[in-house]
Amino acid sequence: MTEYFTPGETSTAAAITAIGEELALFDDWLDRYEFIIELGRKLPPYPAAWQDEVHRVQGCQSQVWLAAQAEGDKLLFTGASDAAIVAGLVALVLRVYSGRTRAEILATPGKFLHDLGLIGALSTSRGNGVAAMVERIHAIARAP
């Protein structure tokens, strides 16, 4: 059975605030990167069978896979990447969006990634990849 990501926060806003507070604990981006990499190491195991083109997020420099499951009125996500820093970014994105309603997901644009300074601190290709993850999650939330 696949384990989906379950965030500790009760809303997208609470998750974004918590992530901002955690990142602010570090004085420089090298320490923040280490923190983000550690988050990626804590992701639930991602099924090897789902590391395919159906689940692959297009637009990411690294390999990134996302899967979703509806549970009541909420969507649960799981994801993985073949790159350590990107796996951490997957964990951050899932922390914001997993376990939320479609409406809450769609009401939370990826702008928070800029507000937290994540996009500016990443290479252009990684920044585009994170934006592609958010767009994929939004597309899943828009689907019937």
Active site residues: 60
Give the relative orientation of helices 29-41 and 84-97 as an angle to the nearest 10 degrees: 70
Cα(32)–Cα(35) distance, rounded to whole angstroms?
Answer: 5
Structure tokens at 17: 């605030």
Cα(133)–Cα(129) distance, rounded to whole angstroms?
Answer: 6
- The identity of residue 42, as a single letter, is K
Q: Where are the beta strands (DSSP E) in the chain?
A: 64-71, 74-81, 100-101
Q: What is the largest CA-CA distance in the chain?
A: 44
User: In a 3-state reduction of DSSP, which class is residue 16?
Assistant: helix
